[in-house]
A = this chain, B = another copy of it.
């Protein structure tokens, strides 16, 4: 992609309305544009990142055998009256009357709708377990939307639902998602820690939030540091292995604000291992048994001929929120340098040729290099404008391709000035550069 043809409207300075760094960067570099309070359009740069995150989330859902569906954004109020949540949900639910004066709403979550789908489709324990997920826009009418896409009103979310015949099987499903989430965040180059959490309006009695550390986080967290060294590698999708994984994490004290008890923290965690900090919630999983299946009459035939309500859990990842969370975790605000993890980078390499009116040889070289990258499926962005060199580098540091190639008058022969964004450059040839980038891509 050539900058001159791209739709990447970059601002000279940080917009004053943005208070946290993800909001600043996203507006500054034209990833998003606000369309009304708490509602954003995603411009090409932001869209590319979000789609890549979505694809990783999808891939890790598929790997545990979850099947993708897509529920609509607009729901009827009927099913929410069945579950009893229509009144409870309060003003965050965007309530709508259609032209026939029917009570509708913009779904803030989908427990009711997926239960309705399930009860009319599945009749026997033989068809269980079922794991269904969708990635869809949701709406929560926040009273004070803020922090850009971190606390907005219309947001993009993956929510999954599990259906099982009994508690034991349901916990097996729960643990599959527990593993899937650890793997998903790892592929996004995030260290996300599962923490015991309150269940809030979703309900139930078993729940984990997945939190990444960030000063701007809204969740206070209290944890044993050693939890950051744990790994999920080698875990198999079978009951014992998954149980062991959850136990391994649960041996360390690690809770959010609502569950925090000072005594317990100090008793269970040595002073040297105590960590009190802030974090951003990027995922949340719940087990709530028959909380929805019972009032909504969602049961299956059991082996002996009896019936029972299915046992359900739900599992969310904020896909649009992750874009902001990753910026919070990765953006070097002071030096204005963003380096996206290569797995979700909008472009993998930025090519910055110095261009003068009388000398476009650098641009020609950039084009040749670009053709070579295309052959290797490496995505590039090339600054083909005649702006001065330092403003070009500044721009590319914000766009955040993880690698940069600089082509100037000192570029001679086969050697190119190549660097990881934000680090020192070295002179190597194109074949070596391609090898480095491809190796990085395979790892992630």
Contact = CB atoms under 8 A, between A and B. Distances in A.
Interface stretch (A29-37, A256-264, A392-400): A29-37
Interface in A92-138: 92, 94, 96, 98-100, 102, 104, 106, 113, 116-117, 120-122, 126-127, 130, 132, 137
Interface stretch (A3-11, A273-281, A334-342, A434-442): A3-11
B69 A44 contact: yes
A69 B98 contact: no
A153 B137 CA distance: 16
A71 B122 contact: no
A68 B47 contact: yes
A295 interface: no
| Chain A: number of interface residues, binned into ranges | 35 or more
Contacts of A91: 99
Given A99-B91, A113-B35, A141-B99, A4 B126 contact: yes
Contact of A69 (B37, B42, B94, B100): B42
A74 interface: yes
A50 B70 CA distance: 10
Contacts of A42: 69-71
A69 B41 contact: yes
Contacts of A100: 37
Nearest to A155: B72
Contact of A40 (B68, B72, B143): B72
Nearest to A98: B141
A232 interface: no
A310 B420 CA distance: 40
Contacts of A99: 91-92, 94, 141, 143
A39 interface: yes
Contacts of A117: 33, 35, 41, 43
Give the secondary structure class of A's interface: mixed
B106 A74 contact: yes
Contacts of A421: none
Contacts of A33: 117, 120-121
A356 interface: no
Nearest to A152: B72
Number of copies: 2
A328 interface: no
A94 B215 CA distance: 40
B41 A73 contact: no
A403 to B, nearest CB: 22
A256 to B, nearest CB: 27
A36 B69 contact: no
A411 interface: no
A181 interface: no
A68 B41 contact: no
Given A33-B117, A72-B35, A137-B137, A67 B44 contact: yes
A287 interface: no
Contact of A96 (B37, B40, B96, B122): B96
Nearest to A116: B35
A92 B141 CA distance: 23
Nearest to A79: B35
Contacts of A78: 36
A92 B42 CA distance: 26
A347 interface: no
A90 to B, nearest CB: 9
Interface string A126-164: 110010100001010101000000000110000000000
Given A7-B130, A39-B76, A41-B69, 5 more contacts: A33-B121, A35-B75, A35-B117, A41-B70, A74-B94
16 contacts: A5-B65, A7-B132, A36-B75, A39-B75, A41-B69, A41-B117, A42-B69, A42-B71, A44-B68, A44-B69, A48-B68, A72-B137, A72-B154, A74-B94, A91-B99, A98-B141
